[in-house]
Amino acid sequence: MARSGVVIDRDYLKHDPGPFHPERPERLKILLDLADELDQREFELLPPRPASRQEVGACHSADYLELLQATSEVNRYALDGDTVTCRDSFGVGLLAAGGFLNLLDGMASGELKNGFALVRPPGHHALKDRGMGFCLFNTVAIGAHHLKRRYGAKRILVMDWDVHHGNGTQEAFDRDASVLYVSTHQYPFYPGTGAAEEVGAQEGEGFTVNVPLPAGCGDAEYARVFNRIVIPIGSRFAPDWILVSAGFDPHRDDPLGGMDLTESGFAAMAFALLDLAARHAGGRIAFLLEGGYDLAALKRSVAGVLAQMRDPEKAEPPSSRGGEAIEPLVRKVLRIQEPYWSG
């Protein structure tokens, strides 16, 4: 019987943006401790590999790749005020992207039933020619291009539940009808994008779904969004694959966000997406670590998602009760999306 795959490696500790930076190596260290606790009858630990220039070049310009490679020659380089590299960062970024691709390959072959790439640095803010928001390479976008190019995937759902809007991922697929990008995020907040009216353009119009949530939303509000928006639209899209930008900074204990999610809320969202994958994608769903900066909350929340992956049939679906305060926002998003998903 196929196991769940987990990508994690000590080399991810080598990316060091400096003392006191929120995206610190300890985020990965505490997850290494969690990986050591996994039952290897149920989880297979996968080694990463560096992504090739061709693989990352599907999302990033040659000039940007040259700039990132050049940062390997200096102890510190600031791509912007938040995004800092060290000599190892370029190589670790390639290893993060390649680790995710290794996971997807294992799932495509049928050797793995689903997976979680516990890698860093995060990626969903990275643009074609610019790193930002702690992100160097847009790993989830690189993964989606890999699935299309190597396996002929026609419909990929990218679900982004990080507290920050994934502007880089949205931009990568803004005009692409083969990728449905759905984001729940605190709004207004960094990076300033992700309004409900942003729905994609040209051939991709209607294939971007933004749910800009006010600060303070917790388990009940997120469950309402998933029950009323994410799962119904995702079901109509009927994806071949689901990729999840799993940021855990909407947790109530996170120092960078203003949301009120608990580990139970993350587990409920994972359940809903695992069920969607079982119904439409042959179970093919891969989670990818994005944000999450309170170490204890991060470990508990990742553990909750891994538990859902291990045995989704015993999991609890998102509650249908509560969250009434955001119903006007839910209705607004549904009105905006109605021309694309009502039929």
**How far is 51 from 172, CA to CA, in rounded Å?**
18
Cα Rg of the chain, angstroms: 18
What 3-state DSSP class applies to 222?
A: helix
Can you read off the two tokens belonging to residue 74? 């200096």
Q: Give the H/E segment covering residue 151.
A: helix 139-151
Dump the DSSP string for 172-191. Answer: HTTT-TTEEEEEEEESS-TT
Taking a C-beta distance cutoff of 8 angstroms, is the pair 158, 89 a contact? Answer: no
Q: Supply the angle between the helices 89-108 and 139-151 in degrees, to the nearest 10.
A: 40
191 cis-preceded (ω within 30 degrees of 0): yes
125 tagged catalytic: yes
Can you read off the two tokens belonging to residue 267? 């587990």
Taking a C-beta distance cutoff of 8 angstroms, is the pair 133, 190 a contact? Answer: yes
Q: Which of 15, 60, 124, 125 is catalytic?
A: 125
What phi and psi, each to the nearest 5 degrees, are found at residue 200? Answer: 100, 175
Whole-angstrom CA distances from 274 to 260, 313, 335 are 23, 10, 27
**How far is 28 from 298, CA to CA, in rounded Å?**
10
Q: Active-site residue numbers?
A: 125
